Amino acid sequence: MQNWDDIRVFLAVARAGGLTAAAPILKMDPATLGRRIGRLEREIEAPLFMKSPQGYALTDMGQQLLTKATVAEQALTPLDDRGAGGLSGQIRLGAPDGVANFLLPQVVAAIQVQNPDLDIQILALPRVVNLSQREADMAITVSAPAAQRLTVERIADYKLHLAQRADAPAIQSLEDLKARRIVGYIPDMIFDRELDYLGEIGAPRVQLASNSVAVQLQMLRRGGVGFVHDFALHAAPELRRVLTHKISLRRTFHLVRHRVDHPSERLAQFADTLKNGMQKEVARLEQAADLTEP
């Protein structure tokens, strides 16, 4: 293994996706990081990154080094897994923006209260988080990825229903939807087939669309009808579920992790605590949504 300081620089750049993003993490300027990466590439005699205006993407050799360096990092810091008050350090969790906005804040806040030395970052994106490029330590997904270098654990099922403002004219049947303004995803930006909700009702067009669930919810608060996570309804008291006896969707959250990270007791404990917290919070919020049903 090469000089550990250079490997540490490599890990930061790989996880941040570029020199500029890694600079504040390492408290070094981008030019210095570039020289350190260049030195490491000369020692290895192979490029580690493909440079572009969009950032630094790992080459095959870079991916191999990332796997080995991650294992070495864990072996060198076994005593850092737990602080005096529980978990410590920094953990970054990737998630679709719906769960990141309406479910995770209260779950991770409770975890942090019990682990005051732990810093938790939520990477909320309207797309699949790229764990291969180390955008995050672990991620919540709806569809389970098939990559062998990743492991997948089921967290919990959750429900979605059509919803509209409580003061809007009643919807009695699916036929009534044809006269309503539909709110949903931008059709060509649906990044997961499990998110293609409007196919369930045969909606021919989406009059108000966004790639963000949070924006969709704000649109619905101003009129229209669309699918809403039951666990998000607490954030929009103006909305009420409709046609629950005819349309009810069920999806599943999965926790995806790097296979090479499994020896880390710290990450394993966080993953277990996160899953338990999400299961309880989904159940609590869905029960609250059921109680508001007229």
Distances from the Cα of 54 to the Cαs of 18, 19, 50, 57, 209, in angstroms? 9, 11, 10, 9, 26
Domains 80-153+253-277 and 157-251 are alike in CATH topology: yes
User: Residue 28 has what pLDDT?
Assistant: 85
Q: What is the CATH number of domain 80-153+253-277?
A: 3.40.190.10
Nearest to 286 by CA among 102, 101, 158: 158
Domain 4-76: which CATH class?
Answer: mainly alpha
Ramachandran sector of residue 181 (left: φ over 0; alpha: ψ -120 to 50; beta: rest): beta
Place of tokens 């000369």: 42
Q: What is the pLDDT of residue 270?
A: 94
pTM (two decimals): 0.73
Question: Cα separation of 159 and 103, whole Å?
Answer: 13
CA dihedral 12→17→20→26, nearest 10 degrees, is: -10
Q: What is the pairing mode between strands 117-125 and 208-209?
A: unpaired
* pLDDT for 128: 75
Residue 225 carries which DSSP code? B
- What is the DSSP secondary structure assignment for residue 198, as one 8-state letter? G
Domain boundaries, the chain: 4-76, 80-153+253-277, 157-251
**Using CA atoms, how far apart are residues 236 and 240, in angstroms rounded to an integer?**
9
CATH topology of domain 157-251: D-Maltodextrin-Binding Protein; domain 2 (3.40.190)
Distance CA 83, CA 148 (A): 32
CA distance 69 to 22: 17
Would you state the pLDDT for residue 77?
A: 52
pLDDT by residue, tens only, the chain of 294 residues: 467 788 888 888 887 778 888 888 788 888 888 898 898 889 888 999 888 776 788 888 988 888 788 777 766 654 444 444 578 888 899 999 899 999 999 999 999 999 998 899 999 887 777 776 677 889 999 988 877 788 899 999 999 999 999 999 999 998 899 889 999 999 888 888 888 888 778 777 899 999 999 999 999 999 999 999 999 999 999 999 999 999 999 999 999 998 877 777 888 999 999 999 999 999 999 999 887 766
* 60 Cα distance to chain centroid: 25
